[in-house]
Amino acid sequence: MARAKIALIGSGMIGGTLAHIAAREELGDVVLFDITEGVPQGKALDIAEATAVFGSDVALKGANDYADIADADVCIVTAGVPRKPGMSRDDLLGINLKVMKAVGEGIKKYAPNAFVICITNPLDAMVWALQKFSGLPVEKVVGMAGVLDSARFAYFLAEKTGISVEDIHAWTLGGHGDDMVPMVRHSTVGGLPLPELVAQGFLTQDELDAIVKRTRGGGGEIVALLKTGSAFYAPAESGIAMAKSYLSDKKRVLPVAAFLNGEYGLSGLYVGVPAVIGKDGVEKVIEFSTNEDEKAMFKKSVESVQGLIAACKEIDPSLA
Ligand code: APR
């Protein structure tokens, strides 16, 4: 069987890390695309040379021409400008919307059968615009945010309780903004829902509240530390987890920004929800039961996403 082809649109910090992981794990041949000349070629060559150390036979190529992504099985999009300190994800809207137009048109022309994973922020609006610009089926265009937010939530829980991250299942829903919804009742440590964990004394309610708050601000915490960019290791790992579930038809349930068709009472927009990822892309959205508090938090988060979409339509009337 031919090797899978993975096109990385954007060869910056996340794109380069994605290429490294994809090559190490022999997920497929990798094309690094960017508008900057030399960077994708340099990263592709650097990683290609490393394949002789870790013993992987995939091919890597750097490109500035969309023709090179032809017939990709997976496209992971990180093209755009990342957040700088003090800049909200929403400030990025105008700049990155234009980038999504160019990327969407490139994918439409050269890789219309790909599974497309968008990482560019502000995520929920960018993935929505990318689907529109590319014209690909909604189930084949998905946003990466929830895997990352949930991983942060799980890591903070592991750190506090001393229990292995492997035995923690944490979930966040809603938009990829500071009002995302960490699902405390549905997240488990060793099978115990978090309220039960508090009742059994593994951590206090105050500690849990602090973890929820830290999860919501997880992206900003890294931006403040790095000063010159945003997180890239955990975002890249999260994108790879989604690509692997698609490529091997693994049908993992992952929190992703999926297009909703009535689920959670919403239609026509992308929001973070748990979804089954398999060979057909987003194969099913899982609906968590929500109590009044969770419903209110979810509504607020969705309203932020709707606000971003309205702003996109204003900037580019072709999206209306
Ligand atoms: N087409 C292709 N690539 C582009 C375009 C474009 N129109 N515009 C910018 N790029 C490239 C840049 O040249 C750069 O190499 O996108 C790359 C972005 O890389 P970084 O600046 O290193 O950003 P990164 O940390 O990888 O984050 C990418 O993901 O998490 C989000 O907020 C983050 O939106 C940002 C994105």
Per-10-residue mean pLDDT, the chain, length 320: 95 98 98 98 98 97 98 98 70 90 98 98 96 98 97 98 97 90 96 97 97 95 91 98 98 98 95 97 96 92 93 91
The bridge status of strand 60-63 relative to strand 29-33 is: parallel
Does 239 appear as a known binding residue?
A: no
What is the Å distance from ligand 1's center to 267 Cα? 29
Catalytic residue numbers, as ranges: 176
Tell how far the Cα of 287 is from the centroid of ligand 1, in angstroms. Answer: 32
- DSSP, collapsed to helix, strand or coil, labels residue 273 as strand
Q: Would the CA dihedral through 63, 66, 67, 68 be positive or negative? A: positive
* Ligand 1 interacting residues, C-beta cut-off 6 A: 9-15, 34-36, 39, 78-80, 82-83, 99, 102, 119-121, 229-230, 232, 235
Distance from residue 202's CA to the centre of ligand 1 (Å): 40
The closest residue, in CA terms, to atom 18 on ligand 1 is: 12
| Smallest CA separation from ligand 1 atom 32, residue | 82
**Would you say 119 is a known binding-site residue?**
yes
Residue of the nearest CA to atom 28 in ligand 1?
Answer: 78
* Gap from CA of 77 to ligand 1 centroid (Å): 8
Helix (H) or strand (E) holding 112: none
Query: What pLDDT does residue 179 have?
Result: 87
Ligand 1 atom closest to Cα of 89? 32
pLDDT at 85: 67
- Residue 150: predicted pLDDT: 97
- pLDDT tens track for 99-119: 999 999 999 999 999 999 999
Distance CA 183, CA 181 (A): 6
The closest-lying atom of ligand 1 relative to the alpha carbon of residue 229 is 25
CA nearest ligand 1 atom 25, residue: 13
User: Tokens 């309780």, residue?
Assistant: 161
Please provide the average confidence, as pLDDT, over all residues in the chain.
Answer: 95
- pLDDT tens by residue, 63-98: 999 999 999 999 999 999 876 667 666 677 889 999
CB pairs under 8 A, 24+ apart, for 220-225? 220/178, 223/83, 223/84, 223/85, 224/85
Confidence at residue 206, expressed as pLDDT on a 0 to 100 scale: 98
As a residue count, the chain comes to 320
Q: What's the N-to-C CA distance of the chain in angstroms?
A: 42
